[in-house]
Amino acid sequence: MEEKINQAIKDAIANAPERKFVESVDISFTIRDVDLKNPNNRIKEEVRLPSGRGKEMKIAMFAAGEAATKAKSAGITVFTPQEIEDFGSKKGKAKKMANSFDFFLSEVPHMGLVGRYLGVVLGPRGKMPRPVPPALDPSIIATGLQSTVVVKSGDKMTFHVAIGTAEQSQEELSANAMEIYNRVISKLERGIGNIRSLYIKTSMGPAQSIEVIN
């Protein structure tokens, strides 16, 4: 399978139309014979990509005091408790904020406030913040998130996730793709037997089908 995925990545890059922006490269799964109405069967995995994501992830934190200072020094955007409440009365502004960041962190004491005022915005986007314990430097979590992707099926049989960008090397993209593929396969009862189809594509390019033999 690694050889097939590797070839599909090559073809996806080669056939991608020239763009004025750096395209992401995605792997797409369509699974079968899995009852996704049962939440226990849904796939939701955080995967650390061995070659990184190929671009900088935007991370924000809900914090105050010393934690806010540490977060800012690590290049993390900080929103104060007062701003959390302010977002609650300005849904348009809250949605724009939610769409502007890839991941959110929060001091533990502010988690309830975030849930109350921003849960309706962050929840559906899968962006509820990760709690940061008092003794932990937020920069440590942020560094890990720079190479993290979330593989999520929800109740859909088809789902996709970025394996990197078109600027990364063939070897880097292949390593990332295999990390995700192996994680998904490990979560399926019949492994590859639960895979109906598999594709690799760039953001705007044609999909490259990968032969799946059960």
Spatial CB neighbours of 11, under 8 Å, sequence gap ≥ 6: 200, 208
Calculate mean pLDDT across residues 175-184.
98
Q: How confident is the model at residue 4 (pLDDT cuts 50, 70, 90)?
A: very high
Phi, psi of 122 (to 5 degrees): -80, -35
Per-residue burial over 128-150, b if 16 or more Cβ lie within 10 Å, else e, is: bbbebeeeeebeebbeebbbbbe
Phi, psi of 155 (to 5 degrees): -100, 20
Cα separation, 14 vs 98, whole angstroms = 34
- Quote the pLDDT of residue 20: 86
- The chain-wide mean pLDDT, for the chain, equals 95
Report residue 53 as tokens: 């994501």
What is the DSSP-derived secondary structure letter of residue 90? -
- This prediction has a pTM of 0.86
- Per the CB < 8 A criterion, the answer to whether 96 and 60 are in contact is no
- Quote the pLDDT of residue 213: 76
Cα separation, 114 vs 212, whole angstroms = 43
For 162-201, give the DSSP string: EEEETTS-HHHHHHHHHHHHHHHHHTSTTGGGGEEEEEEE
What is the DSSP-derived secondary structure letter of residue 214? -
Cα separation, 4 vs 56, whole angstroms = 28
Place of tokens 């929840």: 123
Structural domains of the chain sorted by starting position, each given as residue range(s) with its CATH number in brackets: 2-54+148-210 (3.30.190.20), 59-145 (3.40.50.790)
User: Is 70 exceeded by the pLDDT of residue 214?
Assistant: no
Per residue in 109-155, pLDDT (tens digit) is 999 999 999 999 999 998 999 999 998 999 999 999 999 999 999 99
Strand partners, 26: 162, 201
